[in-house]
């Protein structure tokens, strides 16, 4: 790094995702920046005593997906111990921000506020949180069990259109409002004992600051409870969801708010400095920053546990078809999003079914033609969010299900065509796609993406864009708090940039093939869904 007047500062980003907790530290001075530390803790592997699979607790009902929030707390303790032992000069740590899987909710009783403020640094965190939860589990974004509550909330709000116009989305089962309603109806005593309902983001920020932390609009807009235009709780949505809900929810503050400093627990336990803690946000809004998507008119496609397509919007134009969402963006604008539940797990299912590794998966894509001779798959190995398919079922046409190579192409093309068709409502004339997530290391998958969207695809350097985005949000908020605001384009410069030479151009000759296949997929989707979803 160059010689500068200001010493280089460190910014920590954390990402509490479905399957892991990741930390990234960036070093920033006046003219250079670099990732200087990265570490990930896998919940299943590193914290096996919680018994999760892919970060989720086993459940009898396949529609239910819950995780133990105390596991996230233990993970934070472990990861921050590692950050402290990394050899970095943490006296230069200026700020921490976080990213979390969206929609999940954590239920705390009235003792939580005082207990969080008086944690004993001589003891590990998790045992000290026993007795704080009014509900031992947190429903997460993969849960599809609140259909009845979605209908009730929609009715009480005067219909799906009004709810979507006000909050950015019609009612979705994984959204926090319907989940809270389900909890209130099924476990009224526990609901009554609940003093504060956090999202995963504000829960983690509360642990860091040692007191109840607020929410940011990026995450709060994933609840069906927030007025998207004013960033305030909507009184009639609160009413439609559960009694006395307003007093149980955190306040909403702008995404770049400093919500506290690192609590004395972390200072005493791991020797962290009293750095600023910035409001945590959802993983999708953090990914926008981590892939440099700070201006309207571009798309990010993230291939992770869920696959998502995101765009930045200057105005909140909600999706009239009811499939997509508009959330708050951490830049103060709006984030258009469609989420596909059958992401990496669907790709892995096909890979494993034919006993392949990822190299063989790529080879299968290379050995098969674009368009797969008309073969198609709707890859709904699990109930799907986009489109709304409550019962799992994989559907194929013109495809030999015993043909491994054709099935590999069919799952990838099926996913990309679904992403293309269901993101048209965003109105983004896509020229460039910022691709992120583990599967983007596979250039053959990126080629299908480029061809289907007829756009150049650029791969982003850090597999965990959400975590990098959190670190960059920490930088942005720290400068803002110092009265030295930084434009977003400067914040992302030098870090949230595509891998050199990674651009994948669309093959013009494949455009027509995919237009035809998209129409064929739309028709298949319509037929399967009107026949009653899964088989």
For the chain, the 3-state helix, strand and coil shares in percent, each to the nearest 5, are 40, 20, 40
72 binds ligand XUL (CB under 6 A): no
224 binds ligand XUL (CB under 6 A): no
Among residues 68 and 282, whose Cβ is nearest to ligand XUL? 282
* Contact string 87-126 vs ligand XUL (x = CB under 6 A): --------------xxx-----------------------
CB of residue 170 vs ligand XUL: minimum separation in angstroms?
13
Among residues 222 and 375, whose Cβ is nearest to ligand XUL? 222
CB of residue 174 vs ligand XUL: minimum separation in angstroms?
6
SS3 509: helix
Q: How many residues does the chain have?
A: 535
User: Which range touches ligand XUL (CB under 6 A), out of 157-165, 277-285, 344-352, 361-369?
Assistant: 277-285
Q: What are phi and psi of 438, to 5 degrees?
A: -50, -45
Distance (Å, rounded) from C-alpha 347 to C-alpha 358?
10
Distance (Å, rounded) from C-alpha 174 to C-alpha 142?
6
CB of residue 306 vs ligand XUL: minimum separation in angstroms?
4
Among residues 112 and 313, whose Cβ is nearest to ligand XUL? 313
Among residues 168 and 296, whose Cβ is nearest to ligand XUL? 168
Among residues 101 and 145, whose Cβ is nearest to ligand XUL? 101
Distance (Å, rounded) from C-alpha 380 to C-alpha 399?
16
Which of 52, 176, 284, 415 is close enough to bind ligand XUL by CB under 6 A?
284
CB of residue 217 vs ligand XUL: minimum separation in angstroms?
14
List the beta bridge partners of residue 40: 22
Residues in region 11-30 near ligand XUL by CB under 6 A: 17-18
Which of 152, 283, 319, 478 is close enough to bind ligand XUL by CB under 6 A?
283
| 494 token code pair | 């030098």
Give the DSSP H or E segment for 206.
helix 200-209
Identify which of 466, 476, 106 has the alpha carbon closest to the alpha carbon of residue 278. Answer: 476
As to burial, measured by CB atoms within 10 angstroms (0-12 exposed, 13-18 middle, 19+ buried), residue 48 is exposed
DSSP secondary structure code for residue 406 in this structure = H
Which of 22, 221, 308, 430 is close enough to bind ligand XUL by CB under 6 A?
308
DSSP secondary structure code for residue 56 in this structure = B
Full DSSP string of 450-478:
HHHHTSEEEEBS-S-HHHHHHHHHHHHHH
CB of residue 477 vs ligand XUL: minimum separation in angstroms?
21
Q: What are phi and psi of 393, to 5 degrees?
A: 175, 125
DSSP secondary structure code for residue 425 in this structure = G
CB-based contact 379:345 (threshold 8 Å)? no
Identify which of 59, 6, 2, 5 has the alpha carbon closest to the alpha carbon of residue 34. Answer: 2
Could you tell me whether strands 138-139 and 232-233 are parallel, antiparallel, or unpaired per DSSP bridges?
Answer: unpaired
DSSP secondary structure code for residue 402 in this structure = T
Among residues 33 and 341, whose Cβ is nearest to ligand XUL? 341
Identify which of 428, 433, 144, 165 has the alpha carbon closest to the alpha carbon of residue 319. Answer: 165
Among residues 13 and 222, whose Cβ is nearest to ligand XUL? 222
Among residues 222 and 414, whose Cβ is nearest to ligand XUL? 222
How many helices (H) and strands (E) would you count in the chain?
20, 21
Among residues 8 and 379, whose Cβ is nearest to ligand XUL? 379
- Could you tell me the end-to-end alpha-carbon distance of the chain, in angstroms, rounded to an integer? 59
List the beta bridge partners of residue 302: 308, 436
Number of residues that bind ligand XUL (CB under 6 A): 15
Which of 306, 372, 436, 513 is close enough to bind ligand XUL by CB under 6 A?
306
Residues in region 375-394 near ligand XUL by CB under 6 A: none
Distance (Å, rounded) from C-alpha 42 to C-alpha 45?
5
339 binds ligand XUL (CB under 6 A): yes
Among residues 294 and 466, whose Cβ is nearest to ligand XUL? 466
User: Which range touches ligand XUL (CB under 6 A), out of 65-73, 108-116, 278-286, 473-481?
Assistant: 278-286
Residues in region 137-196 near ligand XUL by CB under 6 A: 141, 174
Among residues 224 and 510, whose Cβ is nearest to ligand XUL? 224
CB of residue 66 vs ligand XUL: minimum separation in angstroms?
14
Among residues 256 and 340, whose Cβ is nearest to ligand XUL? 340
Query: Which residues make up the interface to ligand XUL (CB under 6 A)?
Result: 17-18, 101-103, 141, 174, 222, 282-284, 306, 308, 337, 339
């Amino acid at each position: 790094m160059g010689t500068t007047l200001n010493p280089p500062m460190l910014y920590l980003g954390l990402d509490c995702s479905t399957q892991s907790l990741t930390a990234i530290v960036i070093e920033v001075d006046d003219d250079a920046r670099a990732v200087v530390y990265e570490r990930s803790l896998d919940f299943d592997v590193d914290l096996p005593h919680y018994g999760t699979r892919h970060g989720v607790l086993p459940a009898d009902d396949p529609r239910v997906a819950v995780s133990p929030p105390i596991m996230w707390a233990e993970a934070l303790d472990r990861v921050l111990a590692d950050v402290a032992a990394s050899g970095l000069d943490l006296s230069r740590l200026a700020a921490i921000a976080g990213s979390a899987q969206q929609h999940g909710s954590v239920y705390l009783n009235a003792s939580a506020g005082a207990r969080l403020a008086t944690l004993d640094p001589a003891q590990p965190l998790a045992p000290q949180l026993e007795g704080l939860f009014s509900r031992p589990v947190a429903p997460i974004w993969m849960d599809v069990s609140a259909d009845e509550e979605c209908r009730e909330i929609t009715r009480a709000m005067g219909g799906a259109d009004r709810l979507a116009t006000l909050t950015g989305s019609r009612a979705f089962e994984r959204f926090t409002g319907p989940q809270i309603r389900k909890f209130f109806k099924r476990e009224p005593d526990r609901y009554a004992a609940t003093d504060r309902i956090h999202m995963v983001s504000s829960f983690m920020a509360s642990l860091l600051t040692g007191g109840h932390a607020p929410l940011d609009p990026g995450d709060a807009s994933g609840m069906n409870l927030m007025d998207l235009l004013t960033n305030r709780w909507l009184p009639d949505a609160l009413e439609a969801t559960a009694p006395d809900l307003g007093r149980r929810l955190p306040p909403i503050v702008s995404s770049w708010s400093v919500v506290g400093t690192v609590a004395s627990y972390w200072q005493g336990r791991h020797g962290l400095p009293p750095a600023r803690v910035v409001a945590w946000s959802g993983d999708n809004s953090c990914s926008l920053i981590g892939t440099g998507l700070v201006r309207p008119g571009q798309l990010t496609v993230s291939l992770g546990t869920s696959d998502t397509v995101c765009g930045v919007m200057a105005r909140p134009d909600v999706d009239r078809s009811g499939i997509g969402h508009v959330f708050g963006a951490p830049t103060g604008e709006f984030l258009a999003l469609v989420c596909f539940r059958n992401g990496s797990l669907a790709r892995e299912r096909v890979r494993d079914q034919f006993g392949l590794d990822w190299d063989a998966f790529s080879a299968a894509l290379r050995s098969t033609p674009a368009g797969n001779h008309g073969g198609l798959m709707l890859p709904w190995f699990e109930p799907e969010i986009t489109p709304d398919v409550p019962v799992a079922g994989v559907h194929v046409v013109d495809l030999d299900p015993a043909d491994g190579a054709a099935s590999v192409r069919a799952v990838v093309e099926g996913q990309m065509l679904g992403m293309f068709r269901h993101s048209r409502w965003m109105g983004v004339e896509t020229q460039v796609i910022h691709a992120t997530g583990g599967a983007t290391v596979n250039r053959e998958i990126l080629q299908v993406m480029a061809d289907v969207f007829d756009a150049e695809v650029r791969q982003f350097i850090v597999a965990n864009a959400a975590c990098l985005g959190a670190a960059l949000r920490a930088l942005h908020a720290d400068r803002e708090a110092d009265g030295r605001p930084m434009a977003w384009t400067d914040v992302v410069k030098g870090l949230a940039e595509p891998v050199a030479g990674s651009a994948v151009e669309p093959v013009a000759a494949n455009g027509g093939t995919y237009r035809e296949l998209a129409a064929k997929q739309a028709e298949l989707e319509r037929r399967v869904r009107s026949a009653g979803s899964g088989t």
